[in-house]
Amino acid sequence: MKLIENPQLPIGPDSAYGRDLNFALAQIFRAIAQKVNLLADGRVAGSDFVASSVPTTGTFTQGDFIRNSAPVEAGTAGSRYILAGWLCEVGGSPGTLRECRFLTGN
């Protein structure tokens, strides 16, 4: 189920404050709906922990997962894989991050 990205707030508020509030709430609800819909679809754009290489800065907690924004097939014949991202094994700055790979079977 997707969230509605254009919420219908009360029409025609009686004051400038009411109009400003309607505008601000519509922007907030729209941003929340877009983020939730991207996350629900599994889109990289909805994720905050995304990188094209293993992070060397930042603070991570054990269990945090950083998605790879540039996955490509790698490895040698017989052990090909796609690097999906990095999992924080030991929290810290940046902590101990381990590669998470998907075998391609080639």
The SS3 call for residue 40 is helix
Distances (CA, A) of 54 to 9, 75, 79, 97: 43, 17, 21, 8
Q: Both 54 and 78 in a single domain?
A: yes
pTM reported for the whole predicted model: 0.69
Can you give the pLDDT at residue 75? 87
Strand runs (DSSP E) across 9-95, as ranges? Answer: 50-51, 65-68, 73-74, 81-90
Q: Both 14 and 52 in a single domain?
A: no
Better-scored residue on pLDDT, 98 or 13: 98
Q: Both 65 and 97 in a single domain?
A: yes
Q: 54-101, pLDDT tens digit by residue?
A: 999 999 999 999 999 999 998 888 889 999 999 999 999 989 999 999
Can you give the pLDDT at residue 106? 60
Does residue 94 have a cis peptide bond before it, meaning omega lies within 30 degrees of 0? Answer: yes
Q: 22-49, pLDDT tens digit by residue?
A: 889 989 999 999 999 998 888 888 888 8
Q: Both 66 and 87 in a single domain?
A: yes
Domain containing 52: what range? 47-103
Q: Both 51 and 86 in a single domain?
A: yes
